[in-house]
Amino acid sequence: MPRQYTYGPFRSRRLGLSLGIDILPKNKLCTYNCVYCEIGPTKEVVSPEYRIKAPPSSNFRKELKDILKYVPHLKSITVGYNGEPTLNENLLDFYTITLDVRRDLKWTNEPPLITLFTNSSTLYSSEVRERVKHFDLVLAKLDAATENDFISTNRPHKDSPDVNTIVESLVKLRKDMPTKKLAIQCLIYNSYREDFISNDNKENIEQLAYAIKKIKPDIVQLYSIARIPSEYFVYAIDDRRKKQIVKTFKELINNNLIEIEINYY
Ligand code: SF4
């Protein structure tokens, strides 16, 4: 039977051996159209209020079980990848079945984390946070902390909350999930175009640090473009620059409880 929901497992530097779960329709569904998106341009950017009802079919449990029994050393079962998974109202149904299947199987070491990727655009909704807070690890995107950088980097839907609201919603999510792990993912890139200022600018980097200081995540993951980006004019920052940004973050955040790491794919 062809697979409907899962792909991999594949080795991710961030998560270790990870099984991907896609809970969206096969075409990309996203509230953003990031300049660096590695799965191509978003054909129709949707509002963060947009919802789909796509409950797991009876195949989901079976498909998950059939694969997981071959990878008892798996590190993460990861929901995300094809857009913004919180747009699916049935996110929690997928989580509950995954939890159930994980409980029934035998694992070599610790059972894999149930992880969620989100671009953070829908987290202002308490209903969405109520679903998201159950995941063991939430990887939440925050590439920009000034409105200009947010608009030019993530190119959000016109109904998207502003960047301050997004930061405040991450502060709320942190409080909603005190025993779970929250990671903030910052993708920083550069631009070849003189008339396009990338998010690697002094003001954005400083404002990002202040936003992170407020959010108090467990981890900050700094990374850059690793595959073909949506726009030809953006490119990855180098390792030296990543290290400088980590240094600036550390100085301005000044909180040893927040781990700041550079991520490579
Ligand atoms: S949020 Fe993710 S999927 Fe959506 S456009 Fe940005 S990088 Fe692509």
Q: What percent of the chain has pLDDT over 70?
A: 99
Instruction: Assess if residue 235 is contained within a domain.
Output: yes
CATH value at residue 97: 3.20.20.70
Provide the whole-model pTM. Answer: 0.96
Pocket (CB within 6 angstroms of ligand 1): 30, 32-34, 37, 39, 42, 83, 119
Domain assignment present for residue 34? The answer is: yes
The model's pLDDT over 108-151, given as tens digits with 9 standing for 90+, comes to: 999 999 999 999 999 999 999 999 999 999 999 999 999 999 99
- Assess if residue 191 is contained within a domain: yes
Side chain identity, residue 100: D
Average pLDDT (94-101) is: 98
Query: Which regions of 101-225 does DSSP assign to beta strands (E)?
Result: 113-118, 137-141, 181-187, 189-191, 219-223
- In this prediction, residues 247-253 reach a mean pLDDT of 96
Range in 13-17, 119-123, 220-224 with the lowest mean pLDDT: 13-17
Residue 13, pLDDT > 80, answer no
Mean pLDDT on 226-237? 95
Pick from 244, 194, 253: nearest CA to 218: 253
Average pLDDT of the residues in 102-111: 95
pLDDT at 79 over 90: yes
The total domain count for the chain is: 1
**40 lies in which domain range?**
6-262
Query: Whole-angstrom Cα distance, residue 149 to residue 163?
Result: 9
For 76, 106, 257, the CA distances from 117, given in Å and listed in that order, are: 12, 25, 22
Is 1 inside a domain boundary? no
Question: Distance from the CA of 30 to the center of ligand 1, in angstroms?
Answer: 6
Distance 196 CA to ligand 1 centre (A): 19
Report, as an integer, the average pLDDT of 156-181: 98
